[in-house]
Amino acid sequence: MPTPSNPLKAVRGTRDLLPPETALWNRVESIARSVFSRYGFGEIRTPIFEDTQLFARGVGEETDIVSKEMYTWSDGERFDEAALIDAWTVQGEAEKRFTQVGGPFTEPFRRMGVQKLVTLRDPAKLDCPVFVCFRQSVTREVVDLLRKASDFFRTDAALGQFSDIIYLRKFAIHLRVVVPSGAKRPAWIETDGIEIEEVSGEFFRSSQSLTLRPENTAGVVRAYIEHKLGDSGQLQKLFYIGPQFRRERPQRGRYRQFWQIGVEVLGPVTSGSESPLRDAEVLEMLATLLDELGVKNWQLALNSVGSATDRPRYVAALKAALAPIKHQLCEDNQRRAETNPLRVLDSKDPNDQALIETLPRIADFLDDSSRDHFAQVRAALDACGVPYTVNPRLVRGLDYYTRTTFEFTVPSSGDPASGLGTQNALLGGGRYDGLSEMLGGPRAPGIGFAIGEDRLILTLQAQAGAPGLASETWETKLDAYIAPMGTERNAAALALARELRRAGLSVEVGDGTFRLKKSFEAADRVARHIVILGEDELASGILTLKTFATGLQTKIARNELAQSLRA
């Protein structure tokens, strides 16, 4: 039990976002929304949990995300008591054979999940009435309750209340718990007086494996397929802002619940979804967004991982090159060399870097069309003046990527200005031309990215003074603080606040118990002006207004106050 010295805390890897920092989050999101709308994007909101298969198929079983980091549970598994009753009785006989037992034990049984406690009308060959209770498993609670019930029914208290059991006094009562075969039967159980009957069959309504989304691209493509968004023939330009979940080792910039701001551009080939222009436009938009947010020194790393046909050739070459050297790699990389050799390339293990450098490069395995596509992306970026470097090892940790992949980073781990520690990827993305088909949909090439919003905020805070996001612009002060002098003025203060707030001003109301000095201190912390509301002020309608920035104190008519505060 939590105690005052040991209160409950937010779960490891999750955190609360509090004001005034949330104002910065809102500011970032509103700049993102503004940029996205200028590029013709509309918002999509997909569910926070999805069928586990979506990620297994979309992101890839062998990726770290799917194999180690997902929050997955089995949902909807329900014990089907009616099925157990049916299996235990002759088909359709149930109603004929049972009498529902009422009385004081109905409710406690029901609370334990026992829906039906019955007596047999015709206790067959047994020479005593039988109480039957249907359970998913045998627990101490059930056994205790059955014992209590049998004691109860054996006493005179029961007589007269239950016509069925008037004769019970003369007999022993037979108690029986009917459970599905294989049901939990704990070691402590003493079955004397209680018969446990096992019935085999399917008594659990089928369950579904669900997962908290570790990323949003698969969900967006699922929604694209489900709502037949491709049928319009138009390019779909969608953005999202929301939490994602990965069970990673928490550290600065890496959380188990984190936020992403992302976009996906996809559609049928005829909508131009495959065009390198789309890749360049998305990257150029990102550059604009980061500039408008005031992120300094961002770097764009770019690569092409080739088409669905290039990749298998490259993966085969990589496997062949890894075979003779893999025993020299770390344990994780040895496993990856077998299961998903591309993942070796983005390994961060310092001891393996020299060997990784010797591995074949994807650039040498691109077919003509992939090479041409990549060249056109770069040419369009050059034309827009968006700087980038090509990083031939950038393969990214999700399996759906084809052709263009990219990451934006801020200066590396050693530089405290990045604010990210070792987690310096601010955002990542790429093209996923085969994802829709992998999820059972029509051909719908696409490209997108997701910004780690937590990392973006850390970066902005570390790079304090970023234009447009200096702390004074998000930690804005209220227009006025109304200080009632004495509790008798509280109501009038609230009425004045209502007037000003309805006139569009931001206002805080103090409390009449505060001394004048305390009111001034409180007001100075949160507002640009203080309005004093004392007996004289209320009587005369002439209020005292002080502006903290100038120290100026003036008298002002109540009906001019809103105007003056606005000015």
Q: Are 456 and 28 in contact (CB under 8 A)?
A: yes
Q: Which of 262, 276, 341, 434 binds ligand HAM (CB under 6 A)?
A: 262
CA dihedral 462, 463, 468, 469 (to 10 degrees): 10
* Burial (Cβ within 10 Å: 0-12, 13-18, ≥19) of residue 451: buried
How far is the C-alpha of 435 from the C-alpha of 57, rounded, in Å? 9
State the minimum distance, in angstroms, from the CB of residue 278 to ligand HAM: 12
Q: Which of 180, 428, 445, 484 binds ligand HAM (CB under 6 A)?
A: 428
How far is the C-alpha of 184 from the C-alpha of 186, rounded, in Å? 6
Q: Which of 80, 279, 399, 454 binds ligand HAM (CB under 6 A)?
A: 454
For ligand HAM, which is the closer residue by CB, 80 or 453?
Answer: 453
Site for ligand HAM in 197-236 (CB under 6 A): 215-217
Residue 260 binds ligand HAM (CB under 6 A): yes
State the minimum distance, in angstroms, from the CB of residue 313 to ligand HAM: 23
For ligand HAM, which is the closer residue by CB, 306 or 452?
Answer: 452
From 175-183, 253-261, 358-366, 458-466, span contacting ligand HAM (CB under 6 A): 253-261
Residue 377 binds ligand HAM (CB under 6 A): no
Task: Quote the longest CA-to-CA distance of the chain.
Answer: 99
Q: Which of 50, 64, 80, 264 binds ligand HAM (CB under 6 A)?
A: 264
State the minimum distance, in angstroms, from the CB of residue 31 to ligand HAM: 17
Residue with tokens 């004001």: 19
DSSP 103: S
Site for ligand HAM in 386-425 (CB under 6 A): 397-398, 425
Q: Which of 254, 373, 529, 546 binds ligand HAM (CB under 6 A)?
A: 254
For ligand HAM, which is the closer residue by CB, 276 or 510?
Answer: 276
Residue with tokens 């009632």: 484
Q: Which of 426, 457, 507, 530 binds ligand HAM (CB under 6 A)?
A: 426
Residue nearest to ligand HAM (CB): 452
State the minimum distance, in angstroms, from the CB of residue 217 to ligand HAM: 4
Mutual angle of helices 368-384 and 276-293, in 10-degree steps? 40
Residue 62 binds ligand HAM (CB under 6 A): no
Q: Residue type at 428?
A: G
For ligand HAM, which is the closer residue by CB, 150 or 217?
Answer: 217
How far is the C-alpha of 285 from the C-alpha of 277, rounded, in Å? 12
How far is the C-alpha of 500 from the C-alpha of 503, rounded, in Å? 5
From 296-304, 452-460, 464-472, 547-555, span contacting ligand HAM (CB under 6 A): 452-460
State the minimum distance, in angstroms, from the CB of residue 544 to ligand HAM: 50
State the minimum distance, in angstroms, from the CB of residue 260 to ligand HAM: 5
For ligand HAM, which is the closer residue by CB, 108 or 397?
Answer: 397
For ligand HAM, which is the closer residue by CB, 450 or 496?
Answer: 450
Residue 58 binds ligand HAM (CB under 6 A): no
For ligand HAM, which is the closer residue by CB, 216 or 347?
Answer: 216
For ligand HAM, which is the closer residue by CB, 80 or 399?
Answer: 399
Residue 255 binds ligand HAM (CB under 6 A): yes
Distances (CA, A) of 431 to 53, 278, 329, 395: 21, 10, 30, 11
Q: Are 340 and 315 in contact (CB under 8 A)?
A: no
State the minimum distance, in angstroms, from the CB of residue 430 to ligand HAM: 5
From 93-101, 442-450, 462-470, 507-515, span contacting ligand HAM (CB under 6 A): 442-450
From 119-127, 134-142, 279-287, 449-457, span contacting ligand HAM (CB under 6 A): 449-457
How far is the C-alpha of 217 from the C-alpha of 369, rounded, in Å? 25
State the minimum distance, in angstroms, from the CB of residue 66 to ligand HAM: 11
Number of chain positions touching ligand HAM (CB under 6 A)? 25
Residue 545 binds ligand HAM (CB under 6 A): no
State the minimum distance, in angstroms, from the CB of residue 343 to ligand HAM: 13
Among 251, 294, 300, 214, residue whose Cα is nearest residue 457: 294
* Type and span of the H or E element at 314: helix 310-322
How far is the C-alpha of 415 from the C-alpha of 73, rounded, in Å? 40
385 Ramachandran zone, left/alpha/beta (phi>0; psi -120 to 50): left
State the minimum distance, in angstroms, from the CB of residue 56 to ligand HAM: 15
Residue 430 binds ligand HAM (CB under 6 A): yes
Q: Residue type at 246?
A: R
CA dihedral 349, 351, 352, 355 (to 10 degrees): 160
Q: Residue type at 95?
A: E
In DSSP terms, 391 is beta-bridged to none
Q: Are 436 and 443 in contact (CB under 8 A)?
A: yes
Structure tokens at 166: 């008037």
From 22-30, 246-254, 324-332, 508-516, span contacting ligand HAM (CB under 6 A): 246-254
State the minimum distance, in angstroms, from the CB of residue 285 to ligand HAM: 13
**Helices of type H across 155-309:** 217-226, 276-293
Q: Which of 58, 452, 484, 512 binds ligand HAM (CB under 6 A)?
A: 452
Among 131, 137, 109, residue whose Cα is nearest residue 118: 131
DSSP 400: T
Q: Are 219 and 52 in contact (CB under 8 A)?
A: no
Residue 448 binds ligand HAM (CB under 6 A): yes
CA dihedral 225, 230, 232, 235 (to 10 degrees): 130
Residue 512 binds ligand HAM (CB under 6 A): no
**Helices of type H across 209-307:** 217-226, 276-293
Interface residue list for ligand HAM (CB under 6 A): 215-217, 246, 248, 254-255, 258, 260, 262, 264, 397-398, 425-430, 448-450, 452, 454-455
